[in-house]
Amino acid sequence: MHIVAISGSPRPGSVSSQILNVAGNLLGSTQHFTIYEALLELPHFSPDLDTEPADLAVMALRILLREADGVIICTPEYAFSMPSVLKNALEWIVSSGEMNEMPVLSISTSPLPPGGEYAHTELRMVLKALGARSANENMLCIGATRKKISPSGGILDAAITEKIREEVIALTKLMHNTNSEHDTIATH
Ligand SMILES: Cc1cc2nc3c(=O)[nH]c(=O)nc-3n(C[C@H](O)[C@H](O)[C@H](O)COP(=O)(O)O)c2cc1C
């Protein structure tokens, strides 16, 4: 099984990327885990550019997702929204359909207590539009990250690690069960 992780923040040292690393480390050794790190290489989406052959960076993203059995997205919140680079990446896969039926675990982070819930709600709306399947019925929004995550990415709060572990297990279960009842993305 292959899981692709996408961080909504391309920033070096991003907390969202650090959380993805934690999630990756919680996966069993039989799971192949790849963090996609090329959000900034994608051109701005425009339907007029969505032609064949696709731009090389777009093609690389689509091929990576085509070969994935599951996806984990962890995003910060900017101006009550998901970062535009993440939305841009998701717009590029509307027409090509790689996320259709894809089991997805979504996580949001913020230094503020709500944990990026607006961005997360928006992300889930977009995932719904893409036809993805949600591994987590309730949104995992990790807030107050400065207190809970060390600058080197270590999780200082055991309850967070436990929550991520539960959600990773839910994702792998969904990847193995194509008829799971969690077929739709809840956005509230
Ligand atoms: C321009 C800008 C807008 C932001 N807006 C929000 C916001 O609306 N809500 C929020 O919780 N955090 C907001 N933040 C804080 C980000 O969530 C925070 O910088 C986050 O940790 C970045 O994630 P990263 O470490 O993965 O890059 C904002 C930060 C910036 C730079």
Q: What is the pLDDT of residues 104-132, one digit of tens each?
A: 999 999 999 999 999 999 999 999 999 99
C-alpha–C-alpha distance, residues 153 and 34, integer Å: 18
Q: Does 187 score more than 70 pLDDT?
A: no
Query: Best mutation site among 77, 80, 145, 148 for ligand 1, i.e. most ligand atoms within 8 A of its Cβ?
Result: 77
Q: What is the pLDDT of residues 155-172, one digit of tens each?
A: 999 999 999 999 999 999
Candidates 30, 36, 27; CA nearest to 62 is 36
CA dihedral sign of residues 105, 111, 115, 116: negative
Domain boundaries, the chain: 2-176
Q: What token pair was written down for 165?
A: 């572990």
Q: Which protein residues are within 6 Å of ligand 1, measured from CB?
A: 9, 11, 14-16, 76-80, 109-112, 116
- pTM of the predicted model over 0.85: yes
Give mean pLDDT, residues 127-152. Answer: 93
Q: Does 98 score more than 60 pLDDT?
A: yes
CA dihedral sign of residues 123, 128, 130, 135: positive
Residue with tokens 């790190």: 37
Closest ligand 1 atom, residue 13 Cα? 25
The fourth-level CATH superfamily of domain 2-176 is: Flavodoxin domain (3.40.50.360)
- Type and span of the H or E element at 11: none
